[in-house]
Structure formats: C-alpha cells, structure tokens
Structure 1
Amino acid sequence: MTGSPPPGPEKAVKAVVRRYWNGRSDSYDADGISGIDTAEQREAWLSLLRGWTGDPDQSKRVLDLGCGTGTLSVLLAALGHDVTGVDLSPAMLERARSKARERDLSIDFRTGDAESLQVPDSAYDVVTARHLIWTLPNPASALREWRRVVRPGGRIILIEGYWDFPQPWDEYREIHEDLPLYRGRPPEELREFIAGHGFERVEQEPLMEPALWGETPEQELYLVAIDVPG
C-alpha cells in the first residue's frame, strides 16, 4: 500500500513550497541553524542521533523526510544506517547528493511528498524529519502516513521548533493560512497535537545547546520522539 496523491488545492500549495525551497537551495546551509559548520557541531549531532536511533551496533532502515540538503541524512548514514532521503525540492536534493558523494556515503535520495509516500507499509525502522511539519498543509495525515511506513516497534523522530515568525515571509505570504502549524509550536503543544492523533508514547528533549547549532538559538528548538506500537 502507498499514499494517495494530494487533491488539487494542496498541489497548488505544494507547488509554492517547492518553488521557494528550490530558490533557497544554494544558500540554505549558510542560513543560521540550517547547516553544520564545525567538527564540534557534527559530533554533537552524532551523539544526539545515536541516542535516539537505538542500538549503535545495529543498522536501521531510516527514512529522512524533508531531507533538504541532506544535513540529517548524511549524519544518519555516518552512523551506519541505511538511509533514504525524500524531499519535494529537486534543487535541494542535488545539494544533498553532492554532500553524500563528498563523504563517500551511499544514500538513496528521492523526490517525493512527505504526506503521500510511495513506500510500502512497515518499510522502515525509523522515520526522521527536521524542520518539516510546520510547512505541511495536512500535518495530521502526514503523521498517519509516517506511522504507516514505520514497522511496529519503530520510531518517528521530529526535530522541530517554535519559530513564531512575526510576519509571513516571501512566497509563504500566499499559503501560510493553509498550513495549520505554520510558525511551529512550543514542544508541549506539538506533543499534544501528536497525542491527539493516536500516538500514546511521545517523548521530548530540548535542543538549545549552542554546540548543536553553532550559536545560541533564538527560537525554541527541540526533539520529539514518537514510539510506534509493536
């Protein structure tokens, strides 16, 4: 079983999203907290992900959604996991493939829609998404889709934040009202949203250490881990 394509109005919203992130692909990694610039950052992220993806001696099948320029995908592959990265933006994926080649990592990068995955049921041990859920027109259906593709006993890991943009920006001015979680949410509110869609075990961890981001974050950043029932 695979996800169904989105209806017409959602396609229009996602066309705007794709256009925006295609335009950001060259500058994205240099934009504040988006990239990883130092060995200290890299080690901090590897330590964090090692703790949440489980047994470090056991390779996992990981689906990295909204992978962008491959920041998280590359880290997960460096930990020894079998990684597939999916993004709506072809330009972002080209940057991600370049990163993987530079590091001699084998990562399967694919163009795709995080809300409608062309993936069989229970195909992955772990789903990850970094700074994604705020830009989805149907975050509730996305959660159901992510649960579908994770095996029983697997995990969904979201790295998110409370962005609280003062004004809608750039192309998002025309679509922000179609995005239920635009601007992000404080961690307690996102946990409540997730729990309200059928997930019983939802954990969180603050991600405010400068070592992760190369600076002290201005926004509230955090990780949410969702255990899929076995």
Structure 2
Amino acid sequence: MTQPNRTDDAVKDLVRQHWNDRAATFDDASHHGIHTDEQRERWLSVLREWTGDDPLRALDVGCGTGVVSLLLAELGHDVTGVDFAPEMLERARTKAERADRSVAFHRGDAESLAVPDDAVELLTARHLTWTLPNPSTAIDEWQRVVEPGGDILLIEGYWDHDEPWDEYEAIHDELPMYDGRPPADLREFLARNGLTEIEHEPLSDPALWGREPHHEYYVMTGTVPR
C-alpha cells in the first residue's frame, strides 16, 4: 500500500531521530570522523584550498559532530555550527572543548536558519542536501545568510545505496536528493537556484576517507550573486 505523504515536520522528525540515534558512534567510521594525522592534514589542505588564507565568518550547516566546524576553526575561521540533532551537537561541543576551539554550536533547521541576513562570508555543509525535504528552499535560505560575493561550499557525493535503511526507509521518497547526486546534477541544481561561479573537484584521495572511497565524493562551491 502506498503511504500518504508526510508533512515536512514529520519527515524532519524522522531525520532528527535517525541522526540522534547514530550520534554516539558516528565518528567511529573512518569516512566520518578524523582518525589520523594524515587524514586531518589532508582535510585541512582541501578546506584551505577552497576557503583561502584570510579568516572568514563561517556557518557550518548540518555540522553533526563538528568535524568540518573544527577543521575550519583550526584554519583560523570564526565558525558557528548548526544542526537539527541535539545528540550530534552535544558531541560537537565536547570535541570543541577538548580541542580548545572556540566554536559556537546551536540547534537549527537548515531550511530556516535563525541567522540574520548577510551574516557570514562562507557557508559549508557536508553530506546534507540529501537529507532535506526542500533542498531548493535551503539554497535560498543559505544565500540569504551569506553576504553577496560570499561562497557556499558543499562536500557532497553520489552513493546510490541499494536500499534505504532505518528511518529513511519510510521517508526517502520525500527527499528529492536522497542518495546524493553526481556533480553535474548538483552543479545544474545550484545554478538553477541562483549561485554563480560554480566549481568542483573530486575528493578521491583515500587519505581523506581513511579507506578507498566507495562512492563518488567531491567538493563544490558557488558564489552568492552581488
């Protein structure tokens, strides 16, 4: 029997439940957490290449356990992390305290941020768009909080799993970008939603993921029009 469409709130509740349940072990996977000095240095190199040397006001949306947030802070950026799952945020705060990094972490909805207009120069999101019921709304919202001429940096991929798992079994049909997208598709999506100067680069180095990558990973940036 076909299930009726759920409201966005119901979909988001299941997304939050999924990531709360995974928070305690999320960083254990080699491709999620940072486990070696080599892995950390490779991620710092990638982020430095795409963000530049000057300190930026940065917002890390869907920050999870704070992996990217803490790397950006290590590079000297002024970072705030936002996530929908409180258990993820608790782990991010603990990691920031242990690393002596000044990163503010707040609970928030990626599609409706409690952030003023033009508040940051850089917005980052890692493996987030596939979890959103309204990714076009999110891109509009991200452009609102990034000042004109600032950048949106996405670490994304195309994993094309055989079957949805856990809570996603019930809601994957209501997530337009479920399973990620190939770079050409995401590039078209970002351009259609107003970003300019879109660039991307594969992230195929095993050192980044602690193993040979099983999927097509990449970084993509787009500029908010002036």
Q: In which range does the TM-score fall when normalised by the shorter chain?
A: over 0.9
Name the CA distance, whole Å, in 2 between partners of 1:81 and 1:197.
27
Unaligned segments of structure 2, at least 5 residues = 1-5
Map of 1:10 onto structure 2: 8
Structure 1 stretch displaced more, 30-39 or 122-131: 30-39
Q: Tell me the CA shift for residue 51 of structure 1.
A: 1.2
Q: Tell me the CA shift for residue 59 of structure 1.
A: 1.4
Paired AA for residue 13 in structure 2: A
Q: TM-score, normalised by structure 1?
A: 0.94
Map of 1:191 onto structure 2: 187
Alignment of 1:161 onto 2:168:
no
Alignment of 1:61 onto 2:57:
yes
Map of 2:224 onto structure 1: 228
Paired AA for residue 199 in structure 2: E
For this pair of structures, how many residues does the alignment match?
A: 221
Query: How big is each residue's C-alpha offset from its partner over 1:60-84, in whole Å with a ceiling of 9 and x where there is no partner?
Result: 1000000000000000001111100
Name the CA distance, whole Å, in 2 between partners of 1:191 and 1:32.
27
For residue 30 of structure 1, give the secondary structure of its aligned residue in structure 2. coil
Alignment of 1:73 onto 2:69:
yes
Contact persistence 2:59–2:80 (CA under 8 A): yes
Map of 1:43 onto structure 2: 41
Contact persistence 2:27–2:34 (CA under 8 A): yes
Alignment of 1:196-207 (within 5 A): 196-207=192-203
Alignment of 1:78-157 (within 5 A): 78-157=74-153
Map of 1:5 onto structure 2: none
Paired AA for residue 49 in structure 1: L
Q: TM-score, normalised by structure 2?
A: 0.96
Name the CA distance, whole Å, in 2 between partners of 1:182 and 1:13.
13
**Identical aligned residues as a percent:** 58
Name the CA distance, whole Å, in 1 between partners of 2:127 and 2:196.
22
Q: Tell me the CA shift for residue 200 of structure 1.
A: 2.7
Q: Please tell me the root mean square deviation across aligned C-alpha atoms, in Å.
A: 0.9
